[in-house]
Amino acid sequence: MTTTTSRGGVAIDCGHLVRDDRVHTSLYKDPAIFDQELDRIFRNTWVWVAHESDVPKANTFKTSWVGNQPVIVTRDKTDTIHVLLNRCRHRAASVCEKKKGKSSVFVCPYHGWSYGVDGALRKVPHASGYQSEPEKAELSLVSLRVETYNGMIFATFKDDIEPLVDFLGPAKKWIDLFMKQGAGFGVKTLGEHKFRFPGNWKIQLENTTDAYHFPIVHKTFLDSLDAETENIFDVLGHGGWVENLGNGHSVMVMIPDLIDLEDNLDAPIPDRFADLAAELVAEGHDDATVRKVVRAVGGTGFNLNLFPNVACSMAFFRVLRPVAVDETEITHVAIGMDEGPVAGNRMRLRLHEHFQGPMGFGTPDDAEGWERVQRGAAAGDDLWIMVNRGVDAPEGAAEAGHDAGDVSAETGMRAAYQQWKRMMTA
């Protein structure tokens, strides 16, 4: 079944815009398709909104987005997490503008309507001025369905959607592996930075499991590393792979030796972490803890893409938000060990800054590439975007029932676009 929508009076057949090995350029440029994506995809699936460490205690909150709709993620006194539309039920003003914090109430700055962290309407100033007292139970902040998996919080507008664990499917295994970089202390967000690029959101979605670009786009980053580290990040031709995990999710294994951070803890500590290991020993940590922390500090050896908006990428979360057909907001969230060794978290931040921080090598190089894709797509309205690289599964790497290719394959992109097609034509 295909679905059509209107574009200046011309019908668009979304089903015909995605083939097995290519997608049509209009997916980057057509405002009508973008509007349809917000409705059919971002309002109809699980969307990542925060990590549980962003709302660690009762009455803590963080503002976030589900598609283009602002929300507040809160935790109440019963430890229940809520995701609420950030819109006063009176005149639609946002009731919270802070990124995160602690508060037991959200007060609309326009007319003073106040709401609890569970969204319940508490007080309406001068309520006697209404013909009848407002029914508070009917005027709560709109609450979305919320479920979590291993600390990751997802929300959806769709009440009858499948449980989150079913939607994640085989991706759960990789989330569990990713969270091992808490080194036994648990994972905690350490800070974030945002930026926007003038390009479609799917251009960034493609990037997270695209190792093909890495040695080309990130050559300056590789040149900044010592020889030992540069060899580790020489990801092509070293046994990695990309695997379709279903429902648009995919994983790209770049460094197979770093899939499970609890394996090979007896291996020699790399020279680049020798000073960190010595500092941890001086802090009084035992040998087992030192080895686990050192191994976790560099992050995992894979990128996990969770359709449609979040990636678990080596040692950080990368979150995308579609702003317009040709504008996307990216948030890089650094993560560390919750109450872990100070020296370990400090080095994690330095490594994050080196590649993905505001002054790092990776962010400007990637953003330049994404912007050029959008700019180039202005030419050739009838041309197609090729995602046909690597169709042969590496022997012994893929799980039964899931297709995979070598680490430079475009398997992850094909997986995401097939999910896009299913949702846009449902």
Two tokens at 221?
Answer: 């980053």
Q: Give the amino acid at 218.
A: H
pLDDT tens for the chain, 426 residues long, are 445 555 555 567 899 999 999 999 999 999 999 999 999 999 999 999 999 999 999 999 999 999 999 999 999 999 999 999 999 999 999 999 999 999 999 999 999 999 999 999 999 999 888 888 778 889 999 999 999 999 999 999 999 999 999 999 999 999 999 999 999 999 999 999 999 999 999 999 999 999 888 888 888 888 887 776 766 667 777 788 999 999 999 999 998 999 999 999 999 998 889 999 999 999 999 999 999 999 999 899 999 999 999 999 989 999 999 999 999 999 999 999 999 999 999 999 998 988 887 778 888 899 999 999 999 999 988 999 999 998 766 665 555 556 888 889 999 999 999 999 999 999
Two tokens at 138?
Answer: 């009917």
Same fold flag, 50-156 and 170-425? no
Determine contact, residues 243/411, Cβ cutoff 8 Å. yes
pLDDT at 396: 57
DSSP, res 222:
H
**CA–CA dist 321, 333 (Å, integer):** 14
**CA–CA dist 193, 52 (Å, integer):** 18
DSSP, collapsed to helix, strand or coil, labels residue 203 as helix
Provide the CA 337 distance to its chain's centre, in angstroms.
Answer: 19
48-85 per-residue burial string, b: 16 or more CB within 10 A, e: under 16: bbbbbbbbeeebbbbbbbbbebbbbbbbbeeeebbbbb
In CATH terms, the fold of domain 50-156 is Rieske Iron-sulfur Protein (2.102.10)
DSSP, res 1:
-
Two tokens at 27?
Answer: 């997916």
The domains of the chain are located at 50-156, 170-425
pLDDT at 398: 57
In CATH terms, the fold of domain 170-425 is Naphthalene 1,2-dioxygenase Alpha Subunit; Chain A, domain 1 (3.90.380)
Element spanning 351, H or E: helix 342-355
Cα pseudo-dihedral 22, 25, 27, 33, rounded to 10: -130
**CA–CA dist 192, 362 (Å, integer):** 15
pLDDT at 355: 85
